Chains A and B, each alone.
Chain A
Amino acid sequence: MSVLELSAVTRAYRPQQPPAIDAVSLTVARGEILALLGPSGSGKSTLLRLIAGFEKPDAGAVVIDGRVVATASSSIPPERRGVGIVFQDYALFPHLTVEANVAFGLHGLPRARRHERVASFLELVGLPALAQRYPHELSGGQQQLVALARALAPAPAVVLLDEPFSNLDADLRGQMRQDVEKILRETETTVVFVTHGQDEAFGIADRVGVLAHGRLEQLDTPETIYHRPASPFVAEFVGAATFVAGEVRGRHVVTDVGAFPVDGAVPPGAHVDVMIRPDDVTFAPAPDGDAVVVHRDFRGTETMYCVSLAGGRRLYSSQPSWATAAVGDRVRVEIHLEHVVTFPRR
């Protein structure tokens, strides 16, 4: 059952310019975690604000829990939508204690019940000892957890997270990601979160929506997005990709780096681009090889090589860090495509 539904939502700030959000439709199921992934300016924050009610759609509709909350003609204000938000800067109220921050959204409860609820949510995020502290006395990670507890406490239908980990140090980010996901899963919260980093999106989300220029390019599981991207934009945004020109002959696409099987969807004779990811490319040292290593980028767990083929074409190859080759080494390149992805020639 869907908790959140957007149908053809459009938002145009100025009539002459292309809309910031262009006919986006999607549904989010109860307990699902959906990531909105896109470069800055792709409209992902606008989409979040449309769901929250800080922006109004120019066309389309937003439905939360079966209730239409926004159309082009009417819009329910944010305070009556039942949407929780964790802001990029956490937006904790600096004049209130942690406890009062979490209690802020709990109206109409008797004092004792409210107290209980605040305590249970502080317990949930693991910060019961900090109830009397003020936000400025907390670390970045602690502030984030308080913001999460505050958003969850009124039991919203959907929780929105805006770039939740971008303000944290790199060493803290991984741990926070795990903690936050655990809390969200435990509470079976329905979540939409916005990010520009595909690791975050892939690591936490059940499904990922990739946005470009206000349009939803693809909405799928992380694996599908990575291995079967719907467009060259998606292919390049979620990982390094090289495109090699080829022509479909029978059940194969023939390129100058080899022939690969294709399914029947691509008509024979079509000119296409074949996507090749660095993890599809391996090479072995060979004194008589026709390729040369031209660049080496050691990244710790893996090493990214750039090899130049005989015709001058360059391919990227990621190798385990223990496999070493030096710039200038002659190699022989092999390409194994688990998923053959082709796009019509650009």
Chain B
Amino acid sequence: MAAAAIAATLASPLLVVLASWRHPAGDVWRHLWRTQLLELVVNTLLLAAGVGVGTLVVGAGLAWLVAAFEFPGRRLFEWALVLPLAMPAYVIGFAFLALFDFAGPVQSTLRRLAGPGVRLPELRSGWGVVTMMTLVFYPYVYVLARVAFREHGGAALEAARSLGQSPARAFTAVILPLARPSLVAGVALAIMEALADFGTVSTFGYRTLTEAVYRVWTGMFDRVAATQVASVLLVLVLTVLLLERALRGGRRFTGGERRGGFPRIPLRGRRALGAMAACTGVLALAFILPLGELVVWALDVGPDERPGRGFVGLVASTFLLAAASAVLVCLLALVLAYARRLRPSRTATVSAQFSSLGYALPGAVIAVGVLGPIAWLDGVLAAVAERTLGHRLGLLLTGSTAAVLFAYAVRFVAVGYQTTDAALARIPPSLDEAARSLGVSMRAVLRRVHLPLMRGGMLSALTLIWVETIKELPATLLLRPFGIKTLAIEVWERTSESLWAEAALPALAIVAVGLVPLLIATRLDGGRR
């Protein structure tokens, strides 16, 4: 019951967005339809396609390099190539804008060397955005592809080569098809992130649906129209989800799996240099260069711009908001996961799946969807207050922290659920029964057996959600209470005013926070080996 209630609450924003079509389209919408909507949809589709192809090529290519070949630095690269995941797209975006701007260091140097007529292609464009997002999102494909290649690749590669195929032929003929489910999953994740992105497209001035939701909302104050734009985006996202299902086709390849992998093919001479150059190049562009730029700016600020009280307060409020989000989301996830363990019913399973949809939804869609239920609840509360207390309350929840937390819960409950559910699944049911046969009630089993055993899983769920919340931009931006700021908002506000240097320090803080889960993951990985 509790699980179903949570699921219904968490799914309500989705339904609100879908239901927006019942209202007649307003003037703003008609205007949008005539002038921009086609451009917005085409732009968004191009972005999705470009990021899909880009992350597939870069992610799968690098994964194949480190999975199948041995070259100097391979071990280091294998690990380091995940690092760009810590870098939010809007951070790398503004670092590149500053570097490659007309007045930036790269173009200035070029002009000095080759004459004033030399120009680089404009970064504030479709291909610029696609490049940025490819650099940041390729690790989704890389991580999944590397595992797939290592697990399935060995036997298949050796069999193919024993049948007279070159490694390159074996890769295209056998390994790629075998890894397809993983590649599809990775690319789908990357595309979802691209569709959800707001920060990059807005600093690059590239008009997409996500960006339009924000513009319609804050520029024209038309909630209905914003919701309708969001619903178009929602349809796109659901299409990607369905495509992912269809392309995976429920196929799971088993067999040929070998623990410990297979011997890598050593590369020498020019080939080894090529492999190193490819890895170094991607890593430099996606991580080292932007990070270096941030550090230089952060050190470069003048004495009166030094971070003081204000920055400390900003960090504190961000961390606190994220901590509240993490605790709330983990509690909800625990209830959902626990309901399924106690009474494995259809309701419990469907509730869990329904609640997990939120992770696929862009923050902007959730934000407009959350406002509906919150405003309704405010209305109810106000009515009740007026009747019982006899005076007006005003809007209690709208524009409050509760609204933001609600949005976070919708967006991140899947992260918490998957982690807690996995931790719970590792506890054999016989432990519950053993405890009960020893005279312990159901409730005490949770306290005395489950929670101690789930501590590790719960901690990593808390950390993951905490980090995700800190990086989140669009939902926070749209729903935040007046006067509340987070690191992500600070970065976005500074960069939209081209105050690059002032954005550097909060951006560095976000990157540092983003590194935390990666370090935890590597440590866990190292423990298992």
**CA separation between A107 and B439, bound complex, in Å?**
8
Of B428, B433, B448, the residue contacting A85 (CB under 8 A) is B433
Q: Could you show 5 A-B contacts with beta carbons less than 8 Å apart?
A: A79-B436, A79-B440, A80-B439, A87-B433, A104-B440
Q: Is the CB of B431 within 8 A of A154?
A: no
For residue A93, CB closer than 8 A to chain B, the reply is yes
Q: Which residue of B lies closest to A150 (CB)?
A: B438
Q: Is the CB of B430 within 8 A of A89?
A: yes
For residue A151, CB closer than 8 A to chain B, the reply is yes
Give B contacts to A, CB under 8 Å: 428, 430-431, 433-441, 448-449, 452-453
**CA separation between A154 and B448, bound complex, in Å?**
18
* Secondary structure type dominating chain B contacts: helix
For residue A298, CB closer than 8 A to chain B, the reply is no
- Per-residue CB contact flags for chain A residues 63-91 toward chain B (1 = under 8 Å, else 0) read 00000000000000111111111011101
Within the complex, what minimum Cβ distance (angstroms) separates A134 from chain B? 12
Q: Which residue of A lies closest to B444 (CB)?
A: A79
Q: Is the CB of B430 within 8 A of A88?
A: yes
* Secondary structure type dominating chain A contacts: loop
For residue A52, CB closer than 8 A to chain B, the reply is yes
Of A52, A92, A104, A150, the residue contacting B433 (CB under 8 A) is A52
Report chain B residues within 8 Å CB of A88: 430
Within the complex, what minimum Cβ distance (angstroms) separates B521 from chain A? 23
Top 6 A-B pairs, shortest CB-CB distance: A105-B438, A91-B430, A91-B434, A85-B437, A78-B436, A87-B430
For residue A300, CB closer than 8 A to chain B, the reply is no
**CA separation between A229 and B433, bound complex, in Å?**
35
Q: Which residue of A lies closest to B432 (CB)?
A: A91
Q: Is the CB of A52 within 8 A of B437?
A: yes
**CA separation between A93 and B431, bound complex, in Å?**
7
For residue A233, CB closer than 8 A to chain B, the reply is no
Q: Is the CB of B449 within 8 A of A93?
A: yes
**CA separation between A180 and B71, bound complex, in Å?**
58
Given A93-B449, A95-B452, A95-B453: A87 and B434 interface contact (C-beta under 8 Å): yes
Looking at B433, B435, B438, the one whose CB has the most chain A CB atoms below 10 A away is: B438
Report chain A residues within 8 Å CB of B448: 104
**CA separation between A88 and B429, bound complex, in Å?**
12
Given A87-B430, A89-B430: A151 and B439 interface contact (C-beta under 8 Å): no
**CA separation between A129 and B438, bound complex, in Å?**
24
Q: Which residue of A lies closest to B427 (CB)?
A: A94
Report chain A residues within 8 Å CB of B430: 87-89, 91
Looking at B430, B431, B434, B453, the one whose CB has the most chain A CB atoms below 10 A away is: B434
Within the complex, what minimum Cβ distance (angstroms) separates B480 from chain A? 41
Within the complex, what minimum Cβ distance (angstroms) separates A285 from chain B? 52
Q: Is the CB of A105 within 8 A of B439?
A: yes
Q: Is the CB of A79 within 8 A of B428?
A: no
Q: Is the CB of A54 within 8 A of B433?
A: yes
A sample of 19 more A-B contacts (CB under 8 A), given A77-B436, A79-B438, A85-B434, is A53-B436, A54-B436, A77-B441, A78-B437, A79-B441, A84-B437, A84-B438, A85-B433, A85-B437, A89-B430, A93-B431, A93-B449, A93-B453, A95-B449, A95-B452, A104-B448, A105-B438, A150-B434, A151-B437
**CA separation between A84 and B452, bound complex, in Å?**
23
Report chain B residues within 8 Å CB of A81: 437
Report chain A residues within 8 Å CB of B438: 79, 84, 104-105, 150-151, 154
**CA separation between A84 and B448, bound complex, in Å?**
18
Q: Which residue of A lies closest to B438 (CB)?
A: A105
- Per-residue CB contact flags for chain A residues 106-132 toward chain B (1 = under 8 Å, else 0) read 010000000000000000000000000
Q: Is the CB of B437 within 8 A of A89?
A: no
Task: Count A-B contacts at CB 8 Å.
Answer: 61
**CA separation between A53 and B440, bound complex, in Å?**
13
Q: Is the CB of B449 within 8 A of A79?
A: no
Q: Which residue of A lies closest to B454 (CB)?
A: A95
Q: Which residue of B lies closest to A162 (CB)?
A: B430
Q: Is the CB of B428 within 8 A of A91?
A: yes
**CA separation between A82 and B435, bound complex, in Å?**
12
Report chain B residues within 8 Å CB of A87: 430, 433-434
Within the complex, what minimum Cβ distance (angstroms) separates B70 from chain A? 36
Q: Is the CB of B439 within 8 A of A79?
A: yes
**CA separation between A89 and B448, bound complex, in Å?**
20
Q: Which residue of A lies closest to B435 (CB)?
A: A104
Within the complex, what minimum Cβ distance (angstroms) separates B499 from chain A? 51
**CA separation between A107 and B436, bound complex, in Å?**
13
Report chain A residues within 8 Å CB of B435: 93, 104
Q: Is the CB of A105 within 8 A of B440?
A: yes
Report chain B residues within 8 Å CB of A82: 439
Q: Is the CB of B434 within 8 A of A94?
A: no
**CA separation between A104 and B433, bound complex, in Å?**
13
**CA separation between A52 and B441, bound complex, in Å?**
14
**CA separation between A321 and B35, bound complex, in Å?**
96
Given A94-B453, A95-B453: A79 and B437 interface contact (C-beta under 8 Å): yes
**CA separation between A78 and B449, bound complex, in Å?**
17
Within the complex, what minimum Cβ distance (angstroms) separates B26 from chain A? 55
**CA separation between A79 and B435, bound complex, in Å?**
8
Within the complex, what minimum Cβ distance (angstroms) separates A76 from chain B? 12
Q: Which residue of B lies closest to A107 (CB)?
A: B439
Within the complex, what minimum Cβ distance (angstroms) separates B433 from chain A? 6
**CA separation between A150 and B440, bound complex, in Å?**
13
Of B431, B439, B441, the residue contacting A91 (CB under 8 A) is B431
Q: Which residue of A lies closest to B453 (CB)?
A: A95
Looking at B428, B439, B449, B452, the one whose CB has the most chain A CB atoms below 10 A away is: B439
**CA separation between A101 and B105, bound complex, in Å?**
67
**CA separation between A91 and B453, bound complex, in Å?**
13
Report chain A residues within 8 Å CB of B436: 53-54, 77-79
Within the complex, what minimum Cβ distance (angstroms) separates A269 from chain B? 55
Report chain B residues within 8 Å CB of A54: 433, 436
Within the complex, what minimum Cβ distance (angstroms) separates A89 from chain B? 6
Report chain A residues within 8 Å CB of B439: 79-80, 82, 105, 107, 154
**CA separation between A105 and B449, bound complex, in Å?**
13
Within the complex, what minimum Cβ distance (angstroms) separates B100 from chain A? 54
Report chain B residues within 8 Å CB of A95: 449, 452-453
Report chain B residues within 8 Å CB of A154: 438-439
**CA separation between A104 and B435, bound complex, in Å?**
8
Within the complex, what minimum Cβ distance (angstroms) separates B344 from chain A? 14
Report chain A residues within 8 Å CB of B437: 52, 78-79, 81, 83-85, 105, 151
Within the complex, what minimum Cβ distance (angstroms) separates B316 from chain A? 34
Within the complex, what minimum Cβ distance (angstroms) separates A288 from chain B? 58
Report chain B residues within 8 Å CB of A80: 439
**CA separation between A93 and B453, bound complex, in Å?**
9
Report chain A residues within 8 Å CB of B434: 85, 87, 91-93, 150
Report chain B residues within 8 Å CB of A107: 439
Report chain A residues within 8 Å CB of B452: 95
Q: Which residue of B lies closest to A147 (CB)?
A: B434
Within the complex, what minimum Cβ distance (angstroms) separates A184 from chain B? 17
Within the complex, what minimum Cβ distance (angstroms) separates B457 from chain A? 13
Report chain B residues within 8 Å CB of A150: 434, 438
Residues A19-56 near B (CB distance < 8 A): 52-54
Report chain A residues within 8 Å CB of B453: 93-95
**CA separation between A155 and B507, bound complex, in Å?**
63
- Per-residue CB contact flags for chain A residues 137-171 toward chain B (1 = under 8 Å, else 0) read 00000000000001100100000000000000000
Within the complex, what minimum Cβ distance (angstroms) separates B475 from chain A? 37
Q: Which residue of A lies closest to B445 (CB)?
A: A79
Report chain A residues within 8 Å CB of B441: 77, 79
**CA separation between A107 and B448, bound complex, in Å?**
13
**CA separation between A94 and B441, bound complex, in Å?**
19
Within the complex, what minimum Cβ distance (angstroms) separates B345 from chain A? 15
Within the complex, what minimum Cβ distance (angstroms) separates B122 from chain A? 59
